[in-house]
């Protein structure tokens, strides 16, 4: 994989920009690229390449460009210490101080899986990430459908990360994951945001956490792909439902054109859609691509986007 256009391999030390100097925050050491590459890139494994850049606009945008240009293969991993144009669903912005989190994207080519099942990839990434965070950092992590990672801070659920999947040509998908690791309360972009450190993580070592997430992601992806992407046979559908904080709650799905559907979230169906049981007795599935916001019923506010790519 070649270096993404515009990416800087080392955070700048330019005058007037001390916050992006490599050692400007000793409490947030840089990732160890050589060690991570040795641990992750192995013959016969999924991960084929590991690249770390100091700063870029968006790892998702960079990896999509590399993939569509034929300069990245399946299993390529692109990590940035800082992003200044990170994106979430519907192009919502992601902001975080340098080295305060994990911002990375991976390239997947799910050959043998019908395209209609590719919509499970962001949900699969959510399961893999939540599992890894619980094991590696000791933080109980829940999933908010379709793409948010939730932790508990002072008795309240807060969004500490998110996932964004994008097509990269006819045969590939780039999955981006963002996780707030060491953000302090005064650094949070919005009140509804959180971080692993605020949730009482047993470790905030980003090398350890990144290795755990990527290994978990690789295991879940291979299991899902080996059965043709079948969410039931791979165990993905049941595992996602077990960890999904949205299920059992009354929510309002806001749709384009000022339309909305309110109902109890009762299931995630075989296509990865959230099924709402409405007051009229109808079970209405909604897809991630159909909604603008998903909120608790009665909540009129917007806490913004705090954890996507």
* Boundaries of every domain in the chain: 18-241, 247-296
Q: Please give the structure tokens belonging to residue 96.
A: 């975080």
Alpha-carbon distance 196 to 205, whole Å?
11
pLDDT recorded at residue 84 = 81
261-277: pLDDT as tens digits: 999 999 999 999 999 99
Longest dimension (CA), the chain: 63
Short-list 240, 25, 254, 32, CA closest to 130: 240
Contact 177, 137 (CB under 8 A): no
pLDDT at residue 24 is higher than 70: no
pLDDT recorded at residue 18 = 38
Alpha-carbon distance 116 to 37, whole Å?
33
Short-list 223, 219, 124, 118, CA closest to 173: 118
Q: Please give the structure tokens belonging to residue 267.
A: 């299931």
Alpha-carbon distance 97 to 190, whole Å?
14
User: Which CATH number is 247-296 given?
Assistant: 2.30.30.100
Per DSSP, what are the bridge partners of residue 93?
87
* Run of H or E including 230: none
Alpha-carbon distance 227 to 26, whole Å?
45
- Residue positions counted in the chain: 309
Alpha-carbon distance 229 to 87, whole Å?
27
Side by side, the strands of the sheet bearing 76-80 are 49-53, 76-80, 101-108, 173-180, 156-167, 148-153, 142-144
CB-hemisphere CA count at 13 Å for 160?
Answer: 34
Name the one residue in this structure whose structure tokens are 């969410």: 231
Whether this model's pTM surpasses 0.75: yes
Average pLDDT over residues 290-304: 71
124-154: pLDDT as tens digits: 999 999 999 999 999 999 999 999 999 999 9
pLDDT recorded at residue 4 = 80
Cα torsion 142, 216, 286, 233 to 10°: value is: -120
Alpha-carbon distance 107 to 289, whole Å?
21
CA distances in angstroms from 61 to 104, 173, 211, 219, listed in the order given: 11, 12, 22, 25
Omega within 30 of 0 (cis) for the link into 146: yes
Contact 290, 88 (CB under 8 A): no
Q: Please give the structure tokens belonging to residue 196.
A: 């692993």
210-236: pLDDT as tens digits: 999 999 999 999 999 999 999 999 999
3-state DSSP assignment of residue 68? helix
pLDDT at residue 178 is higher than 70: yes
Short-list 251, 247, 249, CA closest to 237: 247
* Fold classification of 18-241 (topology level): BirA Bifunctional Protein; domain 2 (3.30.930)
Residue 9 burial (CB count, 10 A):
12
Confidence of residue 93 (pLDDT cuts 50, 70, 90): low
């Amino acid at each position: 994989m070649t270096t993404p256009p515009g990416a800087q391999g080392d955070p700048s030390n330019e005058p007037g920009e001390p916050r992006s100097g490599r050692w400007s925050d000793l409490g947030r050491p840089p990732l160890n690229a050589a060690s991570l590459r040795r641990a992750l890139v192995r013959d016969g494994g999924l991960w084929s390449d590991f690249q770390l850049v100091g700063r870029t606009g968006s790892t998702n945008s960079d990896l999509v460009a590399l993939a569509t240009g034929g300069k990245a293969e399946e299993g390529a991993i692109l990590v940035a210490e800082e992003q200044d144009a990170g994106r979430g669903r519907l192009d919502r912005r992601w902001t975080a101080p340098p080295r305060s989190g994990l911002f990375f994207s991976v390239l997947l080519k799910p050959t043998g899986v019908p395209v209609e099942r590719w919509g499970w990839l962001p949900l699969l990434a959510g399961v893999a990430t939540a599992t890894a965070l619980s094991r590696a950092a000791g933080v109980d992590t829940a999933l908010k459908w379709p793409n948010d990672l939730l932790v508990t801070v002072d008795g309240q659920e807060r969004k500490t990360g998110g996932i964004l999947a994008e097509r990269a040509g006819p045969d590939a998908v780039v999955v981006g994951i963002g996780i707030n690791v060491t953000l302090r309360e005064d650094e949070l972009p919005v009140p509804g945001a959180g971080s692993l450190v605020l949730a009482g993580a047993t470790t905030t070592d980003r090398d350890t956490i990144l290795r755990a997430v990527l290994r978990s992601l690789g295991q879940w992806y291979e299991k899902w792909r080996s059965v043709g992407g079948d969410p039931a046979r791979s165990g993905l559908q049941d595992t996602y439902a077990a960890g999904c904080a949205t299920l059992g709650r009354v929510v309002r799905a806001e749709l384009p054109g000022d339309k909305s559907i309110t109902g109890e979230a009762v299931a995630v169906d075989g296509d990865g859609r959230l099924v709402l049981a409405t007051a009229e007795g109808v079970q209405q599935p909604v897809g991630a691509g159909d909604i603008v916001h998903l909120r608790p019923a009665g909540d009129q506010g917007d806490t913004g986007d705090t954890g996507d790519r």
